[in-house]
Structure 1
Amino acid sequence: MTANTSPDAVAKIAELTRGISIAMLTTVDPAGHLTARPMAQQETEFDGDLWFFVEKDSRTAQNIAASPTTGVSLSSASTWVSLSGTAELVDDRAKARDLWNSMVEAWMPGGVDDPDLTLVHFTAEAGEYWDTPGGLVASAISFAKAKVTGERYDGGDSDVVDLS
């Protein structure tokens, strides 16, 4: 499947990611295994970049320092987004202050000036989404219709998007 490069497709990814606060950040560990962990997304205006807070000595930070290839998955009751790209560790106190909120403080009680605090800057290169407008009710109706008619289940919109 060829990736969609239209501004509408990029805007669709932005719209779908905006309402999802927790993402799964996937990195590559030293043995080459994929490792995913939940992370709180810090910016709601998706432009291909996402920001997360981590501790400098965390496995997440170590994995990113060794291999910047990363993935981010976001999901809600009716939407799934998968992003692939690269991540870098950014030690920028001004950006950290800009992104700081009470949710972060619960995980990082040392505060925004904690010397062990750093940012993960994720840059998406490609994305794929699955969206079921109407949520679970619409999905259930489409599923039932497929079973009754013998036609293939149409769960909604999906696309592969080039974000680079």
Structure 2
Amino acid sequence: MSDHDEQVRTVAEIMRKTDIAVLTYVAREGALVSTPMGTQDFEEPGTTWFLTERSSDKVQAIEADARVNVAYSSKAGWVSLSGTARVSEDRAKLRELWDASAGAFMSGGPDDPDNVLLEIDGSTAEYWESPGKAAAVVQMAKGLLTDDQPDLGDNDTVIL
């Protein structure tokens, strides 16, 4: 397996272990806005799907400026996925991804015309793979008590 493939695998693993991601987009007024989103699916880290409502401010903002960042954080590590978003009305894909969590936050079901998909086309992913809580504590203590730099896991950027 190449280094690139291993990096993409690491990014995917961190993303899978994160329940709630944070989507950041550029509001129509130009400010950065972040909102929690449940990742519904991803086909490799480069294509990520969220469910949302067409009438939301975020969809209107993304239609004006498609640049986004999606942050993932879990015990497995941290990922910052940069790319572009587009609104999709693919009803078959929406039905495929619709689940109880979507129904808890959105009304009308997958056939409601206000319910749409956000497809994120990731171009790069910055990641930090955590060595685990116990190992991180040991490494932090080592860094505090000695002149050695703590080893807090792998960090790199991968082009998707």
TM-score, L = length of structure 1? 0.91
CA contact (8 A) 2:85 2:120 kept: yes
Distance 2:3 2:96 in 1: 31
What SS does the aligned partner of 2:41 have?
coil
The answer to whether structure 1 residue 155 and structure 2 residue 152 are counterparts is yes
Within the candidate set 112, 125, 136, 1:127 is matched to: 125
* TM-score, normalising length: structure 2: 0.93
Letter aligned with residue 49 of structure 2: W
After superposition, give the CA deviation of every residue in 1:125-146 in whole Å (9 maximum; x if it has no partner): 000111112x211111000011
Residues 84-143 of structure 1: CA deviation (Å, up to 9, x unaligned): 00000001110000101101110112111111111100010000111112x211111000
Structure-2 residue corresponding to 1:10: 8
Q: Distance between the aligned counterparts of 1:137 and 1:47, measured in 2?
A: 28
Percent of aligned pairs with the same amino acid:
41
SS of the residue corresponding to residue 137 of structure 1 reads: helix
- Contact kept, 8 Å, 2:78 with 2:127, in 1: the verdict is yes
SS in 1 for 2:83: strand
The aligned residue for residue 140 of structure 1 is 137
Q: How does 1:81-100 map to 2 (within 5 A)?
A: 81-100=79-98
Structure 1 unpaired stretches of 5+: none
Matches within 5 A, 1:22-61: 22-43=20-41, 45-61=43-59
Preserved CA contact (<8 Å) 2:41 2:49 = yes
The amino acid across from 1:145 in the alignment is: K
- Does the Cα contact within 8 Å between 1:49 and 1:124 map onto a contact in 2? yes
